[in-house]
Chain A
Amino acid sequence: AQRVTQPEKLLSVFKGAPVELKCNYSYSGSPELFWYVQYSRQRLQLLLRHISRESIKGFTADLNKGETSFHLKKPFAQEEDSAMYYCALRFYNTDKLIFGTGTRLQVFP
């Protein structure tokens, strides 16, 4: 079955520290993966997608098919990065996404 697992409900770091939000997936086909973010009092929005191989707000995520992972990383966390982060997997060739349970990132000053 298709599944996205985010093992950490809460991740707390100090400003300037590296951060890695873990995401593992279970999928039988060729996966397409995304990270969505929800800042306080804002709407859920797309952060980045693995196909684009982009860096957004200093965040990157590499798809590792061998480990079935798509961890989100940033070398130096900022206070404004504090938010709820969701990893998502595209369901076959549809527009449907399967989301993980989310990880709350807290960055302390």
Chain B
Amino acid sequence: GAGVSQSPSNKVTEKGKDVELRCDPISGHTALYWYRQSLGQGLEFLIYFQGNSAPDKSGLPSDRFSAERTGGSVSTLTIQRTQQEDSAVYLCASSPGAQVRIQPQHFGDGTRLSIL
């Protein structure tokens, strides 16, 4: 595709509900990243997928957060039993990955998640 696509663009849900956020990376990009962008916190790394390697989950804030990447392409970030502090913009990025020189990350528009 032309760029990284994320859906939905906005999500409002009640506290305690589960949510799924989707990311379609740029075709051919092997690396995929999830970040959380909130006021005062900047860009917080959540998880990183690189090809068939085990994902780097070191940034996930709690076990309510999980992500998967099927077929090395589309990724889904799932937040279970949402809390109000989960309200933020969730950004996805992809890059060609596996290069000698690090490649720029291409970001999507993000999903704005609001927990009531």
**Measuring CB to CB, which residues of chain A are less than 8 angstroms from any residue of chain B?**
6, 9, 32, 34, 43-46, 49, 51, 86, 90, 94-102
Contact = CB atoms under 8 A, between A and B. Distances in A.
A97 B105 contact: yes
Contact of B42 (A32, A34, A43, A102): A102
B107 A32 contact: no
A96 B103 contact: no
Interface stretch (B10-18, B33-41, B66-74, B79-87): B33-41
A73 B42 CA distance: 20
B35 to A, nearest CB: 7
Contact of A44 (B48, B103, B107): B107
Contact of B33 (A6, A46, A96): A96
A15 B40 CA distance: 26
Interface in B1-45: 3, 31, 33, 35, 40-45
Nearest to B40: A101
A46 B93 CA distance: 12
B102 to A, nearest CB: 6
A46 B45 contact: no
A100 B36 CA distance: 12
B101 to A, nearest CB: 8
A95 B103 contact: yes
Nearest to B58: A96
A96 B109 CA distance: 19
Given A32-B102, A45-B107, A101-B41, 10 more contacts: A34-B104, A44-B93, A44-B107, A46-B104, A49-B104, A94-B48, A94-B56, A95-B103, A100-B42, A102-B43
Given A32-B102, A44-B91, A45-B107, A97 B45 contact: yes
